[in-house]
Amino acid sequence: MIQSFQDRILFRIVIVPVAIFLIAASIWTGLSRQGDPERYPNYADRGDAYSEQIIRNTVVNAFVGDENVSGSLIWTRGYPSNIAYDPVGTRRYHSQLGLQVEIYKVIAKFRGQLTEANSSILFESFRLMNCLIAVCILYIFFLTLLSSRVIALLATCLMSMSAGLALFGANLYWTYWMMFTPLLTLPILLAGRTFLFILMGFLFGLLYFSVRYEFATTFALMWLLPVILASTKTTTKPIWVGGAGFAAVCVSFLIAVAIHHYRVMQVEQVAFSAASRYVFENVGLRIASLDRVPFPMSLDFFKIIAFRMTENAFAFEDIFSISRFLVVLLTVVMCLFSKDKRSFLILLWILATYGSWYVFGYQHIMQHYKYDAMLFSATWGLMFTFFVCKWVVSQTSRAGRILNQ
């Protein structure tokens, strides 16, 4: 009895943290090799070197540059054809607030003087930190759902091989872990802490939109998933809770936009109306244009979607790969034939959340095909992992009952 208890303590305080670190390190090092730099030389960070270089260059410029050293993100001269840092000819980039830059700069100051030469070590530590946060969030989520530390670790390990995390989990611009922050509220909802759920929706929403605006609709709808999953185990009306959480995220978006305007007004010394032109510089292109993308629901549109469905949803080079089409098919089948009352709502949530950015950010997601991996992993990939691991738990329990007979 005592030995069993000690083994459990050992598992919790040693094995679980070590496993979490190893899973995070596998994302950080690109162990699944879904974006191998040797095969994809334009993606040095495995997903989107061009966007991440904005963050790197802005942090370095704050320490060693003479131009635009504070107040906004920067584009260097020659960007994006040349993404290397250049202290001369920088331009301010106001389409995002880029709060993560301020956090990175504060941490960098504790290490002493940052230079272009020693910055790579610091940035790699930031990238590992992003991976660790993402893995911790996913582990907590799966542990809450599946009530098994071993299965939760296996589920988190499988998610680490999803295309979204493999390509973008470490990225300093995307800080992909923020997309999963709503999952942290599941144990809070199960404990009946509705107000705390709404408060976290506001705070995490403010954090998310202070970093970037991309996938805003996807992030907002992510807050409905914990409500759906907790709906059968709480007495609170899910429609009210989900609506309140969604509204809190929308309010946080408006406040983040207002803060963004104020910051641009300070940096550029312009009025509010002029600041809007900086803040919403790319909105018209991303939301209300068809620049370099096919017309929605056209033949070319369906050709692109069909091609994306052939891309990997989960993969580990030379060992296994699962296409997005197969994940969609299996997830739909598991939802339709599941006895879980939440399954149909989960399927509707997946369709709405994954598809929302194809509606509200059509030009953006159609032009940047690799970004679909982030949407897919956070919706189809996440729920596919849940249903598969839930089935494993049920089969394990069934086998245990048979052995005990």
Work out the pLDDT band at 1, boundaries 50, 70, 90: very low
Quote the CA–CA distance of 343 and 98 in Å, as a whole number: 37
| pLDDT tens digits along 270-285 | 998 889 988 888 787 7
Q: Rounded mean pLDDT of the chain?
A: 89
User: For residues 63 and 58, what is the distance between their CA atoms, to the nearest angstrom?
Assistant: 9
R_g (Cα) of the chain, nearest Å? 22
Q: What angle do CA 106, 111, 113 make, to 5 degrees?
A: 90
pLDDT, tens only, 55-99: 999 999 988 888 998 778 999 988 888 888 899 999 999 989 999
Tokens of 18: 């070590």
Q: Torsions phi, psi of 252, nearest 5? A: -60, -35
Q: Are 238 and 245 in contact (CB under 8 A)?
A: no
State mean pLDDT over 35-40.
57
What's residue 401's pLDDT? 58
What percent of the chain is modeled with pLDDT above 90?
64
Closest CA relative to residue 287, chosen from 209, 375, 217, 378: 217
- Could you tell me the pTM of the whole model? 0.93
Q: Is the pLDDT of residue 249 over 90?
A: yes
pLDDT band at 359 (very low <50, low <70, confident <90, very high): very high
Query: Residue 131: pLDDT above 70?
Result: yes
pLDDT at 141 exceeding the cut of 50: yes
Name every residue whose Cβ is closer than 8 Å to that of residue 288 and which is 6 or more positions away in sequence: none
Residue 143: DSSP 8-state: H
3-state secondary structure (DSSP) of residue 338: coil
pLDDT of res. 41: 46
Dump pLDDT digits (tens) for 225-246: 999 999 888 777 888 999 999 9
Specify the pLDDT at position 331. Answer: 97
For residue 39, what are the contacts with CB-CB under 8 A and spacing of at least 6? 33
